[in-house]
Structure 1
Amino acid sequence: MDEARIRRELREAALAHRPDRARILARVERGTAAPAPAGRRGRPPRPWSGRRRPAAVAVAVAAAVAGVVGLGGLGGLAATTPGDRPAGPATGLPAPGPTARAAGTIDPGGNRWWAQSDLAVTTEAPLAGLTVELRVAQTGGVVSTGHWRTRPAEDFTVTVTEEPRALVYRWTLERGRTVPPGPHTFAAQYDHAEGVRDASADTYTVLLTGSDGGRTTLRGGFGPRGGS
């Protein structure tokens, strides 16, 4: 067997070797803990005969490579113990949003030229954030005449925006203010073309934020009935 072939086979054997790390670790620990026996003489070295024994050489080199790979794997094992691993980024599910419900109705106190849309929002926990948007579809002659809410006026920023297809009322809770649990009403008032107005295209959106950051979104409409 030529030397090149022996080297190739040794390299393949070393790459295919899978050391038993637990056994190697135990052997290393026993070897470092036990003292060498006294009075034991070492075997004198044999004179070199000049001949190579391929099988013996293969076994010896494979054992040496296995020992190196085993110790290397042992070092890698020690370097990746749980206590030494860097902590990964914290992951978790988002906080559940606050429990709430909403219902939109047309106030029965309207008439043939004027109407009021009432949005009742009921919350079961304190809110750190609240945005209420009420969209009154432009059915003809729709013009804002006012608005109100049952919460203190200074707690909210209110805007009324005229869009091509709707009149948009928006109440936004001021930073640092809170909304307690309970029923709350937001109302939009407006003129409209004479007659019974169709409110089927009117909609609302309510975004609620709990004290723990959880969010809930409510959406709905106001039904087909208008002011009489």
Structure 2
Amino acid sequence: MMDDIGNQLRRAAAAHQPDRARMLARVQRGMLSSSATDTADFDSPGARTARHRNRIAQSWPKVVLTTLATAATLAVGGFAVGAVVHGHEPRQESAAGPGTSLAPGSPSPHAAGPGQQDPTTPPPAGTGRPSAPPTTPGPGHTSATPPSRPHTEDGPLWADGSVDPHSNSFWAQSNVTLKARKPLTALSVELRIAQTGGVHSAGSWQTLPAADFTLSVREEGDALIYRWTLRAGRTVPAGQHVFAGQYDHTAGGRNARADSYRVNAGTSDAKPAVWGDFARST
């Protein structure tokens, strides 16, 4: 119903064409008839004609003002009709699909607040936390593994590390066995026993004469260290030789994987060096 009324008002407003000349003529006739009634019975024809011209000249400003007022009234009426018609036009609203309605007061899914990032926009590259720098062991720290892969043979020198089979749950012995194909004019054997709990020296021995070596036993960092050094002027004959370190430890099985050894030697024409670890648990 409201749509029909709006359509009719629009058609009427578009078809209306005011007759300006006719309106001015009606105004003029009204003014002339009024003046003629006032003086027709008393004036001569010449006086009436002069007065008539004078009144017409004086009435032109009024005619112009009347015309402007009429045009303004028509314009306001046209705007009013347009407003009425526009006010009754059906509103157009965007329809949300099923399941996309928002709760009252909830923000738009595409509007990001201050300092927030649109969830549909991928984060900028390089906005992750910086990785922590790798930590390096401090001075005196002994790694759980040897510093490098075992190197058990070098020229005329060969060596091997093993846990003595007579070790038990409270005590152990680690053996460094070396073989020399030539006499050695210099020799240094170092045995490192990792501190796995309750490790203390319980003695040492070697198959070569004890008087030919100086022995030092000390605790350094997290290891118990045995070191045999050949005295100056002494010689180690070619053959197989054993250097052993004995120690107590906490009751129970002990893992010797962190233990290691190193042997530096000298011959008449070379300075071989070998090193390795221990893989047996006691």
TM range (shorter): 0.5 to 0.7
Q: Indicate whether 1:100 and 2:161 are aligned.
A: no
* 1:98/1:210 contact within 8 Å kept: no
Q: Indicate whether 1:147 and 2:192 are aligned.
A: no
The equivalent of 2:238 in structure 1 is 181
Q: Indicate whether 1:206 and 2:239 are aligned.
A: no
Which aligned runs of 4 or more in structure 1 are off by greater than 4 angstroms?
Answer: none
Shift of 1:160: 0.4
The 1-side partners of 2:214 and 2:267 are apart by 19
Shift of 1:161: 1.0
Shift of 1:185: 0.1
Percentage of matched positions with identical amino acids: 51
Q: Which has the higher contact order (CA 8 A, sep 6+)?
A: 1
Of 112, 131, 137, the match for 2:194: 137
Of 186, 205, 214, the match for 1:157: 214
The 1-side partners of 2:196 and 2:243 are apart by 21
The equivalent of 1:122 in structure 2 is 179
The 1-side partners of 2:215 and 2:155 are apart by 23
| TM-score normalised per structure 1 | 0.55
**What pairs with 1:52-63 in structure 2 (closer than 5 Å)?**
none
The equivalent of 1:219 in structure 2 is 275
Aligned amino acid, residue 175 of structure 1 = A
Shift of 1:219: 0.6
More strand by share: 1
Q: Deviations over 1:199-228 (max 9, x none)?
A: 00000000010023x2011010011x232x
The equivalent of 1:20 in structure 2 is none
Q: Deviations over 1:140-162 (max 9, x none)?
A: 00000000000000000000011
- The unaligned stretches of length 5 or more in structure 1 are 1-96
- The unaligned stretches of length 5 or more in structure 2 are 1-153
Aligned amino acid, residue 215 of structure 1 = K
Shift of 1:179: 0.3
The equivalent of 2:249 in structure 1 is 192
* 2:157/2:273 contact within 8 Å kept: no
RMSD: 1.0
* 1:203/1:221 contact within 8 Å kept: yes
Q: Secondary structure of the residue that 1:215 maps to in structure 2? A: coil
* Matched residue count: 129
The equivalent of 2:101 in structure 1 is none
Shift of 1:98: 4.9
The 2-side partners of 1:170 and 1:107 are apart by 18
Q: Larger Cα Rg: Structure 1 or Structure 2? A: 2
* 1:115/1:226 contact within 8 Å kept: no
Change (3 A) 1:133 1:179: same
